[in-house]
Structure 1
Amino acid sequence: MEQSPNTPEADLTAATSTVSATPTEAAIEFDSHPFTFHGLGGEFFRIWIVNIVLTILTLGIYAAWAKVRTHQYFYGNMQVAGGSFQYLANPVTILKGRIIAVVLFVAFFFLNQQFPVETMVVSIPLFLFLSPWIINRSLRFNMRNTAFRNIRFDFTGSYGSAFCNFVLGYLAVLFSFGIAFPWWIRQLNKYLVNNTKYGDAPFEAKLDVGEYYITFLMAMLIATVLYIGLFVLGGLSFAGAAFDAPAVATIGTGITVLVGIIGFTFVKAFVNARLGNLLFNNTKLKENKFKSQLDAKALTKLYLLNALLIIVTLGFAIPWVICNLVRYRAETLVLEGNDLDSFVAAQIDAGNAIGEEIGDVFDIELGL
């Protein structure tokens, strides 16, 4: 007799086949694409020194071209998945925005000289209400003039969200006596990432506020231990001076200063590494994700070496220092994805640079 397809044996065989096939079908393989930076300190030095000289000779007018040249060098030398970034801003557009920004700054300066009280009463609330607009215009301009594989980025943050995150968030930090600071940093990171798009695909950052508090609490603990150590070393130096032992006092002071410099540099590197890894490791672009491996010890060595280079060369090593920092950031970042060719370029306007240049003049500096 012919076996029915609905027998227990047939059901067991089908179930086993389904269970064994499901993991293979559901598995998603991600390709790893390390970021690489090919810029060299010597190459950038030539761009850097020419930018400085021409900016001075043109009384600042060339600064717009200097900014574009610098961005184009670093963007063009940053590569991932076989492609490099592009900076597409027009220097003339930046110059127009910068002129407007400088005119506003000069007007504020002279009004403040003639009517200091009235100017401050009006300018402070005006600045608070204008700053979200300035920040959004700056971010939108930079994103829309940045491209990868000929697809532009975009920034879609609204005025209301920027006001809540930057202005009200800052006031929350002040009124909480700094307790809300980790929360505020997390809110700013979420605002910046979640409102950024690559073509028509939005970035998404899921950030745990607890991790931010843990980072700053650990940094405070390290700093506290460091302060205690410095207090002890300072006491030894003071004792050496009190007991007429200048050699002990000198050596003790030198060690105290050295430990302080290295220690607080490590605290800075620790926070930067933790926050950098936390941000990128929890950010996605569709099914693509990032893997960041910044290391506090490596960053500390890099910071100290860069500071020494700048001091010894009287600032002429700045191009090498910048390249070293960018190269390390690239070497510790990997893009893991499998649909890099599926993005569609959204048709977006290149925008204008007025907001960005006002931000530069009034010292609103943002970095991601």
Structure 2
Amino acid sequence: MTEAAYAVVFDGELVEGFEHEQVKASLAEMFGLGAERLEQFFSHPRVVVKRGLSHADATRYQDALRRIGAVVTVEPPREAAPAAVPAPSPAYGDGPWQPGADAAPAAGDPAAPAFRDGAPVPPGVAAGTAAEPAPRVLPFAFAGEGFEYFRIWIVNVLLSILTLGIYSPWAKVRTQRYFYGSTSLDGSSFEYLARPMQILKGRIIAFVFFAIYAVAGRFEPLLGMAMMLVLILATPWIVVRSLAFRNHHSAWRGVRFGFAGTVPGAAKALLLWPLAGVLSLGLLMPLAMQRQQRFVIENARYGTSAFGFGIGAGPFYRAFLLLLLGGVVGGALSYALGFLFAPLSIIVMVLVYLGLIAWANVALVNLAIGNSVLGGHRFVARYEFGSYLRLLLGNSVGIVLTLGLFYPWAKVRSARYAAEHIDFVAEDELDGFVAAQRDAVSATGGEVADLFNVDLGL
């Protein structure tokens, strides 16, 4: 038995609790299926999703498909086993997928369709040419543990207090390296490459600016207002430098990320579009959000390959309207219950607030990450309102009841949830990306962004 000889097979069974239409929609997004091929996928009793895999890769496929509700089995090669109907895939061309015979045709039969690795070759493809590889669904994985991070976090807090904040750059690097190193894709972990001294220099500059602003605001209100205006106008520069620093010091498989955004582009996305949203009484605010996400994503780089953002403003408007409707209904319910029992109204208000935050985060992640592409590859985001709300409630209650000591577990739980609900669909080999050497990026912008809570990172 060869190692790379396992097959992943789907026979129509769904994970308990998942709806048929929900699974179909997720499979359509994951494999890029049209309506006709999607129906054929579910109508055939046995469909090979992927063959010729190692056992580890086949298991990863099984886990990824199970998370979207499809139960698949991993099958070893069988002696003279009939070939199952292959799953529809972008590799089979644009024509409709036609289920073939249960067994591969006999060699030399001119009437039989050509098969390659058990899959039908698209019409018009010569027998000697290589077929395009089928997409590989690569789930992210997070291996961090709450208590493990707690030990890092508590040391960082204590040393930062004892050194009056001087240790905070080292604390940040330790934290980032832990979460980057605990997150992996296709068996390789991410890396955080920044050095504490780079961050310390930026924080000193940020602290000096903050001190001047605080003193000016206390004794000269007009000077304080002027400095606040300067800070607002400097926001595009801060964001660009922050994203450039973070991306430049992030890497996967030895290839650094990058950010090519400009200050004028950031000013348009971060200042002018939100201002238009305010002046239009909110009518243009969803469009402003779409423009901001597009600016951040389309200017991100992995080596020399640019990210892409393939969605317009329409879904953002639908999400905004649903969020507004939820707020109106929740507010009315809270107000009505207040006549019956005043404390109940407060409880409902808190639950509605957390629910709106959860729904907004779920919608934003699914819209932004789920519509991002990279060099022909794409991302799939499957955040769910129910599970994310439970995560948010659990983290909030834990932090409140432990007076903040639950924070490390909350951060780990959030990172694990993100990894479990985001996949990377690779259309071909990922080693084709080439690292782009970029100039060193100053840490100043990133640290000013941290100090003033300006963070628009993807």
1:20 equivalent to 2:110? Answer no
Q: Tell me what 1:168 maps to.
A: 272
2:241 to 134, 137, 143: 137
Q: Which has the higher strand share?
A: 2
Q: Distance in 1 between matches of 2:207 and 2:263?
A: 23
Q: Distance in 1 between matches of 2:165 and 2:401?
A: 28
Q: Distance in 2 between matches of 1:352 and 1:147?
A: 17
Q: Distance in 2 between matches of 1:366 and 1:23?
A: 49
CA pair 199-111 structure 1, distance change in 2 beyond 3 A: same
Bigger Cα displacement from structure 2, 299-308 vs 266-275: 266-275
2:328 to 224, 234, 239: 224
For the 8 Å contact 1:287–1:339, the answer to whether it is kept is no
Corresponding residue SS for 2:123: helix
Number of matched residues?
A: 339
Q: Distance in 1 between matches of 2:308 and 2:123?
A: 33
CA pair 82-103 structure 1, distance change in 2 beyond 3 A: same
1:72-83 equivalences under 5 Å are: 72-83=177-188
Identity across the alignment (%):
37
Q: Tell me what 1:61 maps to.
A: 166
For the 8 Å contact 1:64–1:92, the answer to whether it is kept is yes
1:262 to 351, 358, 378: 351
- How many angstroms does 1:100 deviate by? 1.1
1:326 equivalent to 2:415? Answer yes
- How many angstroms does 1:44 deviate by? 0.5
1:49 equivalent to 2:154? Answer yes
Q: Which amino acid aligns with 1:218?
A: L
Q: Tell me what 1:102 maps to.
A: 207
Gaps in structure 2 of 5+ consecutive residues = 1-109, 115-120
Bigger Cα displacement from structure 2, 32-41 vs 19-28: 19-28
For the 8 Å contact 2:296–2:457, the answer to whether it is kept is no
1:288 equivalent to 2:288? Answer no
- For residues 76-132 of structure 1, what are the alpha-carbon distances to aligned partners after superposition, in whole Å with 9 as ceiling and x for unaligned? 000111111100001001001111111122122233334322442x32443333221
1:280-359 equivalences under 5 Å are: 280-337=369-426, 338-359=428-449
2:365 to 276, 291, 307: 276
- How many angstroms does 1:219 deviate by? 1.3
Corresponding residue SS for 1:335: strand
Q: Distance in 1 between matches of 2:431 and 2:164?
A: 45
Q: Distance in 1 between matches of 2:352 and 2:332?
A: 12
- How many angstroms does 1:26 deviate by? 7.0
Across the aligned residues of Structure 1 and Structure 2, the Cα RMSD in angstroms comes to: 2.2
For the 8 Å contact 1:266–1:297, the answer to whether it is kept is no
TM-score (norm. length: structure 1): 0.86
Q: Distance in 1 between matches of 2:323 and 2:274?
A: 21
For the 8 Å contact 2:248–2:441, the answer to whether it is kept is yes
Segments ≥4 residues shifted beyond 6 Å: 16-19, 23-26
Q: Distance in 2 between matches of 1:130 and 1:314?
A: 36
Q: Which amino acid aligns with 1:163?
A: A
Corresponding residue SS for 2:442: coil
Corresponding residue SS for 2:238: helix
Corresponding residue SS for 1:336: strand
CA pair 119-304 structure 1, distance change in 2 beyond 3 A: closer
Gaps in structure 1 of 5+ consecutive residues = 1-12, 238-252
Bigger Cα displacement from structure 2, 282-291 vs 26-35: 26-35
Q: Distance in 2 between matches of 1:215 and 1:302?
A: 21
CA pair 179-309 structure 1, distance change in 2 beyond 3 A: same
CA pair 123-33 structure 1, distance change in 2 beyond 3 A: same
1:37 to 142, 149, 157: 142
Q: Tell me what 1:156 maps to.
A: 260
Corresponding residue SS for 2:432: coil
For the 8 Å contact 2:243–2:457, the answer to whether it is kept is no
- How many angstroms does 1:216 deviate by? 1.0
Corresponding residue SS for 2:380: strand
